Structure 1
Amino acid sequence: MLFRFGSAIMLAVAVSLIGIALEKESLKLKRQVSRQHYQLDVLIDAHAKMKLATQRAGSPRQVLNSMERGELDVETNQQPVSTNRREMPLLQWHLNHSSKQAAGEK
């Protein structure tokens, strides 16, 4: 009888200790998630500030003012920007890629 009572007490204590360990782990994970949410909010705020600064720096007025002050170098292309070819670049890439493969296999 005493053995059964002692076993029941030990079982109750073991279940309590396991419950406490699980609760500690759960609270630890909740703290990590909370910290990650805070870090995400900080990163979103920093991203918004950087995006705003980029938009301000890239505005036409700012760019023209920088060019007038000589802070930006203006380079001109010697070649025309577009050609009059009516080829599809992706299709041509595929054809060039497959012809290189065929040449490599031979």
Structure 2
Amino acid sequence: MLTKHELPECPVATTVQILGSKWKLLILRNLFQRSWRFNELKYSLPGISQKVLTDSLRSLEQDGIVARTVFPEVPPHVEYSLTELGQSMGPIIKAMEDWGTYYKTQL
């Protein structure tokens, strides 16, 4: 997780830095539905590579947005879910969904 001094001064730039990729936004969209396993996320996001998904999840985890839970089983069972901080992004994702729906009606 970055310190306050490492983040941009502008709050919008901070948000863009944390969520700045299409894939992170789509990962968050899915995680608002429920907890997901890695392969479930991968198959639900056509076009994402394993490396990009891994890097995005690690980044979101480091930023405190996503929690990674490892269940002590053989083989290991790992699930990703939103933290409380991640849940606070709900209005942002909802506003993007609403605007996307509105935009489509204007075409």
TM-score of the superposition, structure 1-length normalised?
Answer: 0.22
Report the structure, 1 or 2, having the larger helix content: 1
Higher relative contact order (CA 8 A, sep 6+): 2
Question: Radius of gyration: which is bigger?
Answer: 1
Report the structure, 1 or 2, having the larger strand content: 2
